[in-house]
Amino acid sequence: MSKHTKTLGLIGSGLIGSQLARLAVSHGFHVVLSNSRGPETLADLVAELGPRARAATSTDAASAGDVVVVTVPLRSYRDLPAEALAGKVVIDTCNYYPRRDGRIPELDDESTTTSELIQAQLPGARVVKAFNNIYFADLPEGSPAGTPNRRALPVAGDDEAAKATVAAMVDEFGFDVVDAGPLAEGWRFQRDTPAYVTPADADGMREALGRAKRYAEMG
Ligand SMILES: NC(=O)c1ccc[n+]([C@@H]2O[C@H](COP(=O)([O-])OP(=O)(O)OC[C@H]3O[C@@H](n4cnc5c(N)ncnc54)[C@H](OP(=O)(O)O)[C@@H]3O)[C@@H](O)[C@H]2O)c1
């Protein structure tokens, strides 16, 4: 188990949330799952995960987590329990898909980025962007540290201690870590960039982040 983390709270327990919960449980964490429909709808996943897992409301999952993952369709960002997340390390896996999420003008004009939008919604939280650029089915495919050409995942965040906590988890879950900088640099691994869902080792990931273009530049 990580030195830093004992309980992972999950706001969203779909494709990504359930995979992160499986990884967390297999690494000795307790997990508290939540979704939009209520804890009773997560009974099957809780049963699969065993005694280290329980389901709760999103507010309770936020309160219970040493680290809390926000892994919902981005359109739901205004529903996040800001008060319960104050002071917490929050992992944001969310991506912006206008067809699913509706138009969000400040993302369309690139005056902000998805994780900065979530950070603004959660002013007391310590948001770290991670696990947004890996396909959910690839999450269990990590490998031990030191494996040649080990897959790397980027993290971005404004709070260095929070970023270090999340980096330790990413490594524990099977991936090298590339520090992509502050949240404002998170666009470098957003949807449609070279770093998005394409496996790369640490050198390859740094290279992919370096040649990312803003949507406006892509035309
Ligand atoms: N799928 C991937 O491979 C992948 C990879 C990287 C990043 N992502 C991103 O990560 C996020 C989650 O993706 P996903 O594929 O896991 O989505 P998903 O399978 O659709 O699951 C979304 C989860 O969020 C919950 N949810 C929705 N609104 C909520 C709210 N207001 N409060 C609490 N929970 C809420 C849903 O609960 P209900 O079912 O009860 O509504 C569900 O458990 C998205 O932003 C996505 O773009 C996805």
Q: Is residue 77 classed exposed, middle or buried when 0-12, 13-18 and 19+ CB atoms within 10 A define those classes? A: buried
Q: Identify the pLDDT of residue 5.
A: 54
Instruction: Tell me the three state secondary structure of residue 39.
Output: helix
For residue 174, what is the DSSP state?
T
CA distances from 205 to 78, 102, 177 (A): 31, 30, 9
Q: Identify the pLDDT of residue 199.
A: 98
Q: Identify the pLDDT of residue 109.
A: 97
Residue nearest to atom 45 of ligand 1 (CA): 94
Q: Identify the pLDDT of residue 130.
A: 99
Q: Identify the pLDDT of residue 119.
A: 98
Q: Identify the pLDDT of residue 3.
A: 53
Element (H, E) at 88: none
CA–CA distance, 127 with 91 (Å, rounded to integer): 6
Residue nearest to atom 15 of ligand 1 (CA): 15
Is 7 touching ligand 1 by the criterion CB < 6 Å? no
pLDDT, mean of each 10-residue run, the chain (219 residues): 73 98 97 98 98 98 98 97 98 98 98 98 98 98 98 98 98 98 98 98 98 94
Is 13 touching ligand 1 by the criterion CB < 6 Å? yes
| Residue carrying structure tokens 């993952």 | 69
- Which of 96, 74, 90, 79 has its CA nearest to residue 129? 90
| Residue carrying structure tokens 């404004």 | 158
Q: Identify the pLDDT of residue 219.
A: 81
